[in-house]
Amino acid sequence: MTAVRKRLLEWIDGERDRRVELLRTLTRIDTCNPPGDTTAAAELVAGFLSAEGIGCRTEAPRPEMPNLVSSFSGRGNGRHLVLNGHLDVFPIGDRTAWSRDPLSGDVVDGRIHGRGTVDMNCGTTALLFAHAYLHRLRSELAGRVTLTVVSDEETGGRWGSGWLTEHCGEEVLGDCVLNAEPSGLGTIRFGEKSMLWLRFTIRTAGGHSAYPHAGTSANRLAVRLVRELETIESMAPAESETVARTLDRSEVRTAAEASLGAGAADVMRRVSVNVGTLRGGVAINMLPSECVLDVDFRLPVGISRADVKQEVTSIVERFPAVRFEELDTGDIEANWSDPEHEMVAHLARNAHAGPARVRPQPVVGLGGTDTRFWRARGVPAFVHGCSPAGMGAVDESVGIEEFHQVLRTHALAAFDYLQA
């Protein structure tokens, strides 16, 4: 072990309490999105960086949703590594359902409690410290490191990572991206499914419920439509040889199921169809004249948005009363980076050497992350973080040891990448 790597490990092992305190402080700040005001959290992050002697600047296309960018260079020319995390979190919902204040940051039974601890205050705090540790070692590192701490991730990223990659690409694109969204210690996301949101509007003449022979129920048509839309889940993806070879491995399937739940390995490779909302009818004794469905399609690698929309169009043609429109989620396809990229090896090796002794496997994520903005521009991007269990749920909490493991893995993998 080199003296430089030994110093890094000493900081990782010696600053545990300081990391926990920053994570708890961040959790106590309300950054729920909507409404998505992250100004106080951004001030906390900027203050942390300043205390470490690291500069940062703000990009805020919306004043209440600031994005922080912090960069430094090493001793010479080398690769450019980007670290990406976000500040906004899911809404709290019904506070009375929580066992404790959802903004408490309480430590109970080895876990930090509060909204956003899993998604993604844990990961963002880990990346902050990784950035700080690399900055302390900058004279020993080649290349460049950029930290992007953004807003608006939970509602699509248009004013966060989407804005930065579009308007500040020269500074923030880099050669490789590390992200610490919740993924499960046993996985490394090398790709993710695409989101396609469609709104279906069904209009009929309606009528009285006692006279179904004289009218048509929009809600009943909606039931038939949903059954037809669910047939899209049987579409076969055209996976590349690399993706298919990776996802076919038994250890990858096992890791996906362990981290993301039973059935995840199959869902990872097929379209999923979810009717998120259904609104129709005004009275129990009337045939509804209108029904509106918002449907979330998640597309795997190997199935394009155009392919699914063509299938939807074919289905809707059989329902003259139905019209559909696309809701704005951006137009990024299901995306992936090379699962055999060296960063995957760095992450896996350092995760296995940590206290958890886990060897993460490369998987395709079921949900979206900001890494899609980098992959869409050809930059390899990888996600490794804590368990997604409980994210967005009542009584959300993250394990402290898991948090330290995530930090350790990212800091060491980043160090190895910049040393290579």
Two tokens at 325? 């429109």
Q: How far is CA 327 from CA 120, 171, 179, 199, in A?
A: 25, 31, 27, 7
Contacts of 337 (CB under 8 A, 6+ apart): 190, 191, 375, 380, 381, 382
Tell if the pTM clears 0.75, that is, is over it: yes
Query: Would you state the pLDDT for residue 420?
Result: 80
Is the pLDDT at 320 greater than 90, yes or no?
yes
Cβ contacts of 89 within 8 Å, gap of 6 or more: 31, 32, 33, 115, 116, 119, 120, 121, 154
Count CB neighbours of 212 within 10 A: 12
- pLDDT class for 77, splitting at 50, 70, 90? confident
Separation between Cα atoms, residue 87 and residue 159, nearest integer Å:
12
Residues 6+ apart with CB under 8 A from 156: 162, 328, 329, 330
Q: What is the pLDDT of residues 171-203, one digit of tens each?
A: 999 999 999 999 999 999 999 999 999 999 999
- Residue pLDDT, tens place only, 371-392: 999 999 999 999 999 999 999 9
Which pLDDT tens digit goes with each residue over 209-237?
A: 999 999 999 999 999 999 999 999 999 99
